[in-house]
Structure 1
Amino acid sequence: MIAQGKLDGVPVLLSPAPGLMRAGLVFRVGFADEPLARHGITHLLEHLVLYPLGLSDYHFNGTTGVEHTSFHMQGSPDDVARFLTGVCASLQNLPTHRLDVEKELLRTEANGRGDGALDAMPLWRHGARDYGVSSYPEFGLPAITADELRAWAARYFTRDNAVLWIAGDHVPAGLRLPLPGGRREPLPVPSSALPVTPAFFPGPPGVVAWNAMVPRHPASQVFADLLEREMYRALRQEAGLSYTAGSSYREIGADAAMVVAVADALPEKQEAVFGGLVDVLSTMQVGRIDQADLAVVLRQRGETLWNADQQGNRIAAEAAGLLAGRPVRQVEDEIAAIMAVTVGDVAAVAGMARGSGLLMAPEGVDARWAGFQPAPQLSEQVVIGTVHAAHTGRDAHLIVGDDGVTVVGGDDHLTVRFDACSIVRAWPDGARLFVGHDGIMVRVEPTLFRNGHQAVALLDARTPAGLRVDQPARRPDRIPVPPSDEPRPQPPPTRAEKLEARRIRASYVLAAIFGLGVVSRVVEMTGDRYGEDAQLALLALLLVGGAVIATSRIRSRRRRLA
């Protein structure tokens, strides 16, 4: 049973649970609220808040997610009260003297985390804003200032934008939540970078992944469970195509959810795994769902919900729901809604999922035969402006316009408009990287275009305020070098090449001596029968012949050396 109350103006959810008390203070802010040019600001603030709290005998931490940021603690009631009260105090007095240190720690954390197989999927579905921002590194860290952090805290970390949950039997007596007033921040509306769905894009080899937008509904949860069951049966047990085959369900935005399916594959079996996934989805869409399988899934999900409630593990999700404006659900009501799901309900969700699907196909797999359309990788329009030809060829050039920038290469072109730009990364040598809301990127390397630095100056003057994020200087070998029309200087000859040149000269001298000797002998033998002109012609012929013989021997020797 989840009880509700208030403490210092903050809503409180309380659920009895065994063991040590667990508690969390959740705020409705996450990566999806950050502009890409300030991506990382919430994570950075979370780190700064925890710094003054030092060490504890019990576990505490902070987490920054896509929609929520949480500070949580497990320990005695006094420890919980001390920790959460300290969090609120730290939010009011951020240790901004640690700003540069924490930025470096976040960069180190990201470097050790690595890339996940599914990290690119939000980018391809949503672009470079709201729910797509989580696909990118924390590009905004270098530009974040102490004043921006304080403004972020004042907007999002307020008592009206928070919920306290406690897995325990009471609110600790000494707990205080001295947070400023504010407003409840609504969940972002998920954007779309896909002109049509279902769509696909090329991904890494060895994995097939698919996601779909579905309604936030118990039937969608059951669909995700049945999809995993069917994938495991079809792809692993029956066909032996995939070792890992599963799916998950995650709520997104105010009234939607995301179902994600993943299956691994050997390179030679990637197409077969993709085909198997399509077959499973098609089968569920037409309602070919075994009633016995549905009964098993409903029973398992009901048992999972009941056990989670008894351990106090549902309460954090209910706190997130309360922040989104949804009423708190008791476990009995949630189980009843699950048990009411029918085969028809699941088939309807499967149909909506198929229509909104986004497939990450392994490289080389063309998914158009299954009704998927390629997700856009190029821009449809170019800007009008000054053209800067590339040093590398006539078909490549840069266009700098009043409303954006375009890079053209042959028939392909990439465009980012200033009014639809998410970030501009700027290096001291003049390189610029423009990222559009749709995820399209335009890289400008001034050394590769005629008057390239002049073009960059114009772009800088037209870039909207707040989008530029300066980067550290690149190593000289990372800066592209323009091609030169002048011949490259030749390196000095090696010792072996000098010896070979001497042999060539010696061969020509020997050929000349041989030719002169032959001519002299011929003149002695012929006497006056031939004139002087004929003798000179014969001499020239013999000299040329000797040279040909010498050259032939030299080439033969070079082939053997090669």
Structure 2
Amino acid sequence: MTLSLTDFTASGSDEQVARFLTRVCEALSSLPLDRLEREAGVLAAEGSGITDPTSAELLSFRYGSVGAGLASWDGPGPDRIPAEAVQDVAARYFHADNAVLILTGRPPAELRLPLPRGTRPDRAGAQPVLNPGPVWFQAVVPGPGLALRGDLDDPALVLALAVLQERLRQRARHQEGLSYDVAGTRMHTGAGQGEYTLCLDAREGKKQRVAELLWQEALRMARTGVTEEELAEEVVGLRESWLDPRSTPSELGDAAGCLLLGLDYQDPRTRLDALEKVTTEQAAQAFTTALATALLVVPCDVEVSLGQLDGTPLPRGGCTTAQTLPADVRLFKPSLLDRALSSAARTARLGIGASGLWSRDADGDVHHVPFDEVVGVEMQGPGRVVFGRSGCLIPVVPEMWTRIGPAVAAIDAAVPAALRYETSGLVADGDD
């Protein structure tokens, strides 16, 4: 499973494969909803995400709490998803008109695929961008990462990004011994557009250095370009990988994904022909254009001071904030004891108005979530945590504010019940 596609795979005899695929289709056509509670527990125990946490935070920062940006959000937890919502997703996506069968052998004679008919979702439009870049920001990630937006099928950009990944591997791992893995992922977010992320792990105490190195190598490529030798080396590596007979299942999967997502699939030889024609100037230009969209994420305990190509500082990104609270909102304060003990608490305020919520933090920045941009409200007993489309969240909980009853009532009155959910019962106290 990825952010875009779900697959069910099996290998074995003709009879085994046919039986597996038939049972999958039968289950999708008539979901065994009596197993929801047990499967929710299994998913909670597994605790895995759709993509790695660093890429997920980059996507969420770029797109907010919608579409691909939901990659980093836990949501209500599997035990709080109602059966009706599960059935709705199955009806919208798991049907014969939104499915592709991939076989690496002849079709089994007894194969049946009893899926209902349906309407394929419209994926023609590109997802709106919340943060175009370039900026850096902090998030709960294991190591630094870089996201670049562009045409992921552009052969010049494909080669430039491959060269950057190799340069980082050589420097971070082999020369400085700071990182073991340099992972690159691709995520299409609309026709002709997508995200390429590069994520690095880091030795304890070296996360800041790895983040700086990642940005330095990106700037160096934009300034000095790539060499013909580097391009040739990447083409050789891709040729060996793409033309290897063992890559057939992967190529079939790519072709199926392109068909479902409305993308143009090109066979390996066509892609290689295009790569071999890329010049160093084209690769450098494609990368420089993409660098203007850069998002650099670093762990929360890391601070960096970095420059851009023109020498100006790389801006720090975050929620869109203001400096003042509106005059016509009802204000809530931290407890008297908290205000006596903490200067941050003396500054903090929560505001509730007819159109939404405001929260002033310890730095004096004011965060805002309009009610018409709320994508979810987690109900934590007497409190609420409100999530906005922009990626901003505002806690309205008694641990932070006093006498929040009227604020909670205002939230419940303004936000549709379908967007409110109880906090998961499968997350123990102290769990991340």
Same fold (TM over 0.5): yes
Is 1:213 paired with 2:145?
no
Give the letter aligned to residue 207 of structure 1: G
Secondary structure of 1:407's match?
strand
Tell me the distance in 1 between the aligned counterparts of 2:423 and 2:198. Answer: 37
Partner of 1:495: none
Describe the shift of the 1:325–1:425 C-alpha distance in structure 2 as closer, same or farther (beyond 3 A). same
SS in 2 for 1:165: coil
Q: Which runs of 5+ in 1 are unaligned?
A: 1-63, 479-562
Q: Is 2:217 the partner of 1:280? A: yes
CA pair 450-288 structure 1, distance change in 2 beyond 3 A: closer
Shift of 1:223: 1.8
Q: Which amino acid aligns with 1:93?
A: S
- Write the deviation string for residues 390-416 of structure 1: whole angstroms up to 9, x where unpaired: 323454332221221122245232221
Distance apart, 1:297 and its partner CA: 0.7
Conserved in 1, the CA contact under 8 Å of 2:161 and 2:287?
no
Q: Which whole-Å CA distance do the structure 2 matches of 1:318 and 1:471 have between them?
A: 40
The structure, 1 or 2, with the larger RCO (C-alpha pairs under 8 Å, 6+ apart) is 2
8 Å Cα contact 1:379/1:413 also seen in 2 = yes
2:109 to 169, 173, 184: 173
Q: Which amino acid aligns with 1:174?
A: E
Q: Quick one: which amino acid aligns to residue 406 of structure 1?
A: W
- Give the deviation of 1:129 after TM superposition: 1.4
1:388 to 321, 324, 332: 332
Aligned counterpart for 1:419 among listed residues 358, 372, 382:
372
Runs of 4+, deviation exceeding 6 Å: 111-115
Asked whether the 8 Å contact 1:200–1:375 carries over to 2, the reply is yes
Please state how far the C-alpha of 1:283 moved relative to its aligned partner: 3.0
Matched, 1:458 2:410: yes
TM-score (norm 1): 0.66
Q: Provide the secondary structure at the position in 2 that maps to 1:212.
A: strand
Give 1:321 shift: 0.7
Q: How far is 1:472 from its partner? A: 5.8
C-alpha contact 1:206 1:266 (8 A) present in aligned 2: no
Q: Which residue of 1 aligns with 2:343?
A: none
With structure 2 as the length reference, what TM-score do the two structures score? 0.85
Distance 2:142 2:94 in 1: 42
The answer to whether 1:185 aligns with 2:121 is yes
Match of 1:400 among 352, 356, 373: 352
Superposition deviation, residue 436 in structure 1: 0.8
Distance in 2 (alpha carbons) for counterparts of 1:328 and 1:402: 49
- Measure, in 2, the Cα distance between the counterparts of 1:262 and 1:443: 30
The equivalent of 2:342 in structure 1 is none
C-alpha separation between the residues in 1 aligned to 2:424 and 2:75? 15
Corresponding residue of 2:19: 82
SS at match of 1:387: strand
Task: Please tell me the residue identity of whatever aligns with 2:149.
Answer: M
User: Does the Cα contact within 8 Å between 1:400 and 1:455 map onto a contact in 2?
Assistant: yes
Equivalent AA in structure 1 for residue 335 of structure 2? H
Partners of 2:50 and 2:71 within 8 A in 1: no
Deviation at 1:272, TM superposition (A): 4.4
Structure 1's 390 and 241: CA in aligned 2 closer, same or farther, altered over 3 A?
Answer: same
Question: 1:389 corresponds to which letter in structure 2?
Answer: K
Aligned to 1:331: 268
Taking structure 1 as reference, are residues 375 and 348 closer, same or farther at Cα in structure 2, changes over 3 Å only? same
Aligned to 1:346: 283
| Residue identity (%) | 25
Letter in 2 for 1:157: F
Cα gap change, 1:388/1:351 in structure 2, threshold over 3 Å: closer, same or farther? Answer: same
Query: Paired residue for 2:293?
Result: 356
In the other structure, the counterpart of 1:108 is 45
Bigger radius of gyration: 1
Letter matched to residue 290 of structure 2: A
- What CA distance in whole angstroms lies between the structure 1 residues aligned with 2:361 and 2:264? 54
1:367 is matched with which residue?
Answer: 305
8 Å CA contact retained: 1:241, 1:269: no
Shift of 1:261: 2.3
Gap regions ≥5 residues in structure 2 = 340-345
Work out whether residues 225 and 283 of structure 2, in 8 Å CA contact, stay in contact via their aligned partners in 1. no
SS in structure 1 of the partner of residue 348 of structure 2:
strand
Please say if residues 3 and 51 of structure 2, whose CA atoms lie closer than 8 Å, have aligned partners that are also in contact. Answer: no
Query: In angstroms, what is the RMSD of aligned CA positions?
Result: 3.0
Q: Deviations over 1:50-71 (max 9, x none)?
A: xxxxxxxxxxxxxx32001111
Report which stretch shifted further, 251-260 or 76-85.
Answer: 251-260
2-structure distance, mates of 1:225, 1:396: 46
CA deviations over 1:190-242 (Å, ceiling 9, x no partner)? 34332x5111012569833212112122222222221122223333444x252
